[in-house]
Amino acid sequence: MNGKIPILAAILIFVLPATAPAGDIEAGREKSKTCAACHGAVGISPNTSWPNLANQQVAYLVKQMKAFRDGERSDPWMSPMAKSLTDEDIEDLAAFYNSLPVRDAYQ
């Protein structure tokens, strides 16, 4: 038996979670239910004052949600929604909204 295998396995256990794609689309779909009233069930807002999120870039979505949460960006509607989001919630929500095709708005 090669003694290096357990060492490699141990290294992988620590390295993989840090390098794996962060967001979980299905978890994000669940978490997005509280966002749907304003941003729509498929990320297309029913109101011209609220931005569409469908198909937006993951990095941009993450940056904006953290900016609202941490107070760098402020809006009376959005800021309270972002306050309780964890980094994991934000990654999942960004993966979900990024996965939504824009054309769903017109179907």
Residues at the contact surface with ligand HEC, assessed by CB under 6 A = 34-35, 37-39, 49-51, 53, 61, 64-65, 75, 77-78, 81, 93
Task: Give whichever of 11 and 23 is closer to ligand HEC, judged by the CB atom.
Answer: 23
In the complex, least distance from residue 61 CB atom to ligand HEC, rounded to whole angstroms: 5
Structure token pair of residue 98: 């990024």
Q: CB atoms < 10 A from the CB of 91, how many?
A: 21
21-27-33 Cα angle (round to 5):
135
Q: Which residue is nearest to ligand HEC (CB)?
A: 35
Q: What is the dihedral of CA 44, 50, 52, 56, to 10 degrees?
A: -150
Q: Which is nearer to ligand HEC, 19 or 84 (CB)?
A: 84
Q: Which two tokens stand for residue 45?
A: 């807002």
- Of 8 and 77, the one with the shorter C-beta distance to ligand HEC is 77
